[in-house]
Amino acid sequence: MRLLPLGDTAWTVEFGDRVDPALHGRVLGLLDALEKAKADEEFVGVVDLVPTFRSLTVCYDPSACDGARLGETLRNLAEKAGAARREGRHWHIPVCFDDDLAPDLADLAQAKGLTREAVIDLLTRTTFQVYMIGFMPGFPYMGGLPAELEMPRLSTPRQAVPARSLAVAGAMCAIYPWESPGGWRLLGRTPVPLFSAQNEASPSLLASGDEVRWRAIARSEFTELEAAAARGGLSRDSLLVKG
Amino acid sequence: MNDLGNALIEVANPGIANSFQDLGRIGYRGMGLAVSGCLDPLTARCANALVGNPPACAVIEVRARGPILAVKQDPVRMVIAGPLTAKLIRTDGSQHDVAPWRSVTLDVGERLQVGVLTGKTAYIAVSGGFATPVQLGSRSLYQRAGIGVAITKGLEIPCAGVSDGDKEFSAPPWSHDDGPIRVMLGPQDDHFKAESVAAFLANAYTATEARDRMGMRLQGVALAHATPAAADITSDGVVPGAVQVPANGQPIILLADCQTVGGYPKIATVISADLPRLAQVKPGETIGFAAVGLVEAKQALTALEARWKQWAGHIIDESAATDTDDESDLFQPI
């Protein structure tokens, strides 16, 4: 574990240098410990926590606290926290795999010597782990993609990836919350909004530590749910796997 | 001195690249949301102080062509902080020059036509602040995700009216610290050859035209990574001020609207006391860097705070000194 200064407004607690579920476990362990302790006096001035694959960045207000002391407190906490398994939420998120919503599905299947149906089957049987939210608000970097589906990014990125596209690149899976340029391969689309600025407490649907499975849906259900979401009538609770 | 009246301003012309900004959106970076806020919060704070506002009030950040703002209801007080002028257009059509660093009171029907700025950053403040709807704790526009209200033609913005007549507040222009931009090395200075870290601190870098609210690209002596593989890292957290260096060796300084995580190694990070200065570096100008530690960074912040308070102590009520000051009439008919 290393404590790295990110100027005088943040510390990065680094557990390693690669994508690795064990390292991410330690990130979640520290995140958990910090969320429990953040009301304590020694964490006054902490304004943001940014978990990644392999590190936790702790942003602070340098005029509200002593950065050096905060760093030492973080180091001690990180050493003690261990990799306590954080109980993330379990999501079941509907995805439509129709060709026009999945422009790279046929190519990926062909490149991998699989049928279209086999790719969808692999995707929907896999449980994905949310490592971090980044790149844009609500964008989840998810690990767990079966090796049979791994492919590099497109050599020429798209100018505009449609919002809510399910995408893969390398060993990662994600959903684009908004239309944006992007080079990941698009294998489907969800009707579920990934980010809602109206939800003050929790604008991002997903969080680091959550687990996600895809549920294949027909076009009719996609259209229905998309319309419901546009009306604000799609409850997040209905996507949670209970128990 | 400001009534909490229901004054209203309408955007008659949005100008180019203007946005509402405040102290930023705190607490959402873990969800991938940029912190945003004023690129130069010190100059913005000056603008707010000149109309009697606390620092958290939203201002308009101007980086190109300013807007035209029309007063719809109740007199308001406005001011520009930064190297930017404007014209006050009266209801009879007459135009009067408005200098920065000096407030003006506008009556209903009058308009402020803000001028053009090249390469720098200025702020417009209004009595009570531009009270657009708050989204996720801030009024700052984060354009990439469409969060916060954008400045568009016809937009009506509530603010506070003033009832104390034509009072005018002024102060000498705020000037930032000079000298090299102070940085703390890291978090990935060990991804660079030692001679490249030395070169980064020894050479001047030129600000290029490639800049926006997310970052500014510099050009100068290329910085070599320790190995070709060291030019990429598994993404980790970034903050405004982080100096990331992709494989081409040319540094990019991240600014207020930057992403929350990034995959390029960061050779150094600009300290918070010097971050506002970057908003005032024009393309073509050069900057140098000096390495400091956390203790010096804190001292720099404390010294800057003291210097700002001293500046604020020089704000004077021009209208109270009209008998002795001929320059108090700032409306010179054209």
CA A180/CA B139 separation, integer angstroms: 23
Residue B35 contacts A where some CB pair is shorter than 8 Å? yes
Tell me how crowded residue B161 is: count the other CB atoms within 10 A of its CB.
20
Residue of A nearest to B273 (CA): A8
Strands A90-96 and A211-217: parallel
B130 and B267 inside one domain: no
Residues of A within 8 A of B301 (CB-CB) are 8, 62-63
Q: Are the beta carbons of B272 and B302 closer than 8 angstroms?
A: no
A175 and A222 inside one domain: yes
The complex's ipTM works out to 0.93
Please name which of B270, B258, B269 lies closest in space to residue B211, comparing C-alpha atoms: B258
Please name the amino acid found at residue A85.
R
Say if B1 falls within a structural domain. no
A215 and A124 inside one domain: yes
The verdict on a CB contact (< 8 Å) between A136 and B32 is yes
φ, ψ of residue B182 to 5 degrees: the values are -85, 135
Which tens digit of pLDDT belongs to each residue from A14-73? Answer: 999 999 999 999 999 999 999 888 888 889 999 999 999 999 999 999 999 999 999 999
Length of chain B: 334
Residue B290 contacts A where some CB pair is shorter than 8 Å? no
CA B21/CA B147 separation, integer angstroms: 12
Tell me how crowded residue A69 is: count the other CB atoms within 10 A of its CB.
11
Residue B190 contacts A where some CB pair is shorter than 8 Å? no
Strands B156-159 and B7-13: antiparallel
CA atoms within 13 A on the CB side of B27: 11
Say if B333 falls within a structural domain. no
A99 and A199 inside one domain: yes
CA B217/CA B245 separation, integer angstroms: 10
Q: Any bridge partners for residue B62, and if so which? A: B122
pLDDT at B318 (0 to 100): 85
A43 and A131 inside one domain: no
Residue B141 contacts A where some CB pair is shorter than 8 Å? no
Residue of B nearest to A68 (CA): B294
The verdict on a CB contact (< 8 Å) between A132 and B146 is no
Strands B242-244 and B266-270: antiparallel
CA B183/CA B69 separation, integer angstroms: 39
B207 and B274 inside one domain: yes
Please name which of A126, A91, A103 lies closest in space to residue A184, comparing C-alpha atoms: A103
Which ranges in chain B belong to alpha helices (H)? 41-50, 194-202, 294-312
List the CATH number of the domain containing B228.
2.40.100.10
Domain count, chain A: 2
Range of the domain at B86: 7-172+315-328
A111 and A62 inside one domain: no
CA A1/CA A23 separation, integer angstroms: 10
The verdict on a CB contact (< 8 Å) between B239 and A59 is yes
The minimal CB distance from A134 to the residues B239, B261, B271 is found for B261
- Mean pLDDT computed over every residue of chain A: 94
pLDDT tens track of chain B, all 334 residues?
444 568 999 999 999 999 999 999 999 999 999 999 999 999 999 999 999 999 999 999 999 999 999 999 999 999 999 999 999 999 999 999 999 999 999 999 999 999 999 899 999 999 999 999 999 999 999 998 899 999 999 999 999 999 887 789 999 999 999 999 999 999 999 999 999 999 999 999 999 999 999 999 999 999 999 999 999 999 999 999 999 999 999 999 999 999 999 999 999 999 999 999 999 999 999 999 999 999 999 999 999 999 999 999 999 998 876 544 444 444 444 3
What's the distance, Cα to Cα, between the start and end of chain A in Å? 34
List the CATH number of the domain containing A67.
3.30.1360.40
The verdict on a CB contact (< 8 Å) between A136 and B145 is yes
DSSP-derived letter for residue B64 is S
Please name which of B58, B57, B65 lies closest in space to residue B18, comparing C-alpha atoms: B65
CA B262/CA B266 separation, integer angstroms: 9
DSSP-derived letter for residue B116 is B
Q: How far is CA A88 from CA A195, A234, A239, A240, B175, in A?
A: 18, 21, 14, 11, 49
A181 and A223 inside one domain: yes
pLDDT at B4 (0 to 100): 53
Q: Are the beta carbons of B50 and B169 closer than 8 angstroms?
A: yes
A58 and A103 inside one domain: no
Residues of B within 8 A of A63 (CB-CB) are 301, 305
Which residue spans within chain A are E strands per DSSP?
A: 2-5, 10-14, 46-51, 55-60, 90-96, 128-133, 140-143, 158-161, 165-169, 172-175, 180-182, 185-189, 211-217
CA B229/CA A95 separation, integer angstroms: 36
**Is the overall model pTM greater than 0.90, yes or no?**
yes
What mean pLDDT comes out for the span A131-152?
94
Which residue, A81, A112, A138, sits at the end of a domain?
A81
The minimal CB distance from B301 to the residues A63, A68, A204 is found for A63
The minimal CB distance from B234 to the residues A4, A18, A195 is found for A18
Q: Any bridge partners for residue A48, and if so which? A: A59
Say if B334 falls within a structural domain. no
